[in-house]
Structure 1
Amino acid sequence: MVGTECFSTPTVMNSTCGAGNVTNIAGLNSYVTGSPLSALVILFMSDLADKVAAKGGYRVVCPDVFNGDPFDRNNTTRPVAVWLKDHAPEKGFETVKPVIEALKKEGATAIGAAGFCWGARTVTDLGKAKSIQVSVLLHPTYVKVDDVRGVKVPIALLVGQNDSVTPPKLMEQFKQVLDAKPEMVGMSWN
C-alpha cells in the first residue's frame, strides 16, 4: 500500500531543478549534488538531495530507480497495482547495487542511504546486505518486521504520527525488533 501523499511530488531528473546535475552512474541516470570530492556519499531515494548536500558537505546521489517512469496518479489506465508490476520494490536493490559499486570505485569510503516510501524497501535490502554503512527509513512502505530484523547496519526509522501506511502499531513492532538487537544502533520515532 502506498499513501496518496507519495505521489504529490514525484522525483524530477532535471539539472535545472537544483544545484546538482544528472549523470549516468553504472547505467542509471542519477541526480548528483554536493562536493564531487567528498568520500562520504548519501544515496537518497527522494527529491531532497540538494538540502541534504548543502547541510552536511556530502555528495548526494539520487538514482532514477524508475528509469524515467515514475508513477502517475492521473493515469487512470495504469493504477499503482499495474505500475508496481514494472517497478516492484524488491527490484530496487538490484537496480541500485551497481550505483553503489561505482561510487566505491570513485572513492566513496562511506555510503549511507535514506529511503522514503517505496525507497525504504531498497534501503532496507541494502542494509541487510551491508552494502551501506547506515540506513534511514522514512514512511517505510513495503517494509515488514522481518525486513527490519535482517538489517545489519545502524538504522533509523522516521514515521509521522498520522502515517496511514506505517501506523503506530507497526512502528512498535519495528521498535521491539531494534530493542532486541543490542549490537545494533537503532532508533525509531513517530
Structure 2
Amino acid sequence: MSGPQCCSNPPSLNPSSGAGHVEQLGGLSTYVSGAPDSKNAVIFITDVYGYEAPLLRKLADKVAAAGFFVVAPDFFKGDPYVANDPNRPIKEWLQEHGPEKSFDDGKAVVEALKSKGISAIGAVGICWGAKVVVALAKVELIQAAVLLHPSLVTVDDIKEVKAHVSVLGAEIDHMSPPELLKQFEEALAAKPEVDGFVKIFPKVSHGWTVRYNVEDEEAVKCADEAHGDLLAWFTKYLK
C-alpha cells in the first residue's frame, strides 16, 4: 500500500454529507444511516480517507435505503490520511493506523450492534478496510463480507475466513492485481462451507467504487454495477 495508487483521486471530505447522522457507537464517532429497528446491519470500514467522504456516505445511504441499518465508524479517530502531505507520507501514516490495530475497534462496533438487537451483520471493507473486515470474518463476528478493491489482504487471510465473501476488484490495480484475486477465488473454491465470489471489473482502477468522477458517465456506471453486486450479496446472506 506504499504506492500512489491507493491514494489516487482523494475525496473532498464533508462532515455534513449524507442523509444520515453521526453518533457514538462502540466508542467511535460513527456515520449512521437507515432504520435503527432493522435486524440486519452493515458496517462500512473505509479506505484511508475515512468516514467523511461524500461518495462513501452516498453508498452507505443506498444500502440503508434497501432496509439495512448502516454504520461507518471513524476508525482513524479524527486523523484520516491527508493526500500529498509531504510531512506525513502514507507509510508513516500507516504506522499509526495499521489495520491490525483496528480489529478491537471493529469488534466493539459489532458488539454494540448486537446489543441493539441486531441479529445479522455484514461488513464492507474498502481498500485499507478490507484487511479489518477479513479479520472480523475469520472469527465469525460477521456473517457476510464484501471487499472493494482490497489492500493488504493475503491468500492466507482468505483461507481463514468463516463468513461468505464477495471480492470486487479492478483490472488495473497494483494493490490487489487480477492475478492475486484469482488466487483468492481458488482459495474460496476450496472452502465449501463458505460462499465465495470474485469479480474483476474491466478497465477500472483501484478505488473506482467510492472515488469516481461523478461527471464521468462510464465511471458512474461501473461504480453502480459494483454497488448493485454489494447490495445483492448482503440481501442474500443477511435477510
Cα deviation digits, residues 151-183 of structure 1 (max 9, x gap):
011111110111221111101111110111122
Q: What secondary structure sits across from 1:182 in the alignment?
A: coil
- Report the counterpart of residue 22 of structure 2 in structure 1: 22
Report matched runs for 1:52-67 at 5 Å. Answer: 52-54=63-65, 56-67=66-77
- Report the counterpart of residue 31 of structure 2 in structure 1: 31
Cα distance in 2 for residues equivalent to 1:11 and 1:44: 18
Q: What secondary structure sits across from 2:197 in the alignment?
A: strand
Measure how far apart 1:4 and its partner are. Answer: 3.0
Cα deviation digits, residues 11-45 of structure 1 (max 9, x gap):
9572x211100000121000000111111100012
Cα distance in 1 for residues equivalent to 2:80 and 2:137: 24
Q: What secondary structure sits across from 2:171 in the alignment?
A: coil
Runs of 4+ in 1 over 2 A off after TM superposition: 2-14
- Report the counterpart of residue 61 of structure 2 in structure 1: 50
8 Å contact kept, 2:40–2:118? yes
8 Å contact kept, 1:43–1:111? yes
Q: What secondary structure sits across from 2:110 in the alignment?
A: helix
- Report the counterpart of residue 9 of structure 2 in structure 1: 8
How many residues align structurally? 188
TM (norm. structure 1) is 0.93
Q: Does 1:112 align with 2:113?
A: no
8 Å contact kept, 2:36–2:69? yes
Structure 2 stretches of 5 or more lacking a match?
47-55, 201-239
Report matched runs for 1:103-142 at 5 Å. Answer: 103-142=113-152
Report matched runs for 1:88-107 at 5 Å. Answer: 88-107=98-117
Cα distance in 2 for residues equivalent to 1:11 and 1:51: 20
Q: What secondary structure sits across from 1:159 in the alignment?
A: strand
Cα deviation digits, residues 64-96 of structure 1 (max 9, x gap):
011010101131100011001110011121121
- Report the counterpart of residue 177 of structure 2 in structure 1: 167
Report matched runs for 1:153-164 at 5 Å. Answer: 153-164=163-174
Q: Which amino acid aligns with 2:25?
A: I
Measure how far apart 1:9 and its partner are. Answer: 4.0
> CA, structure 1 residues 94+12, in 2 after alignment: closer, same or farther (shift >3 Å)?
farther
> CA, structure 1 residues 5+145, in 2 after alignment: closer, same or farther (shift >3 Å)?
closer
Measure how far apart 1:184 and its partner are. Answer: 1.4
Measure how far apart 1:140 and its partner are. Answer: 0.9
- Report the counterpart of residue 69 of structure 1 in structure 2: 79
RMSD of the TM alignment (CA)?
Answer: 1.6
Q: Does 1:144 align with 2:145?
A: no
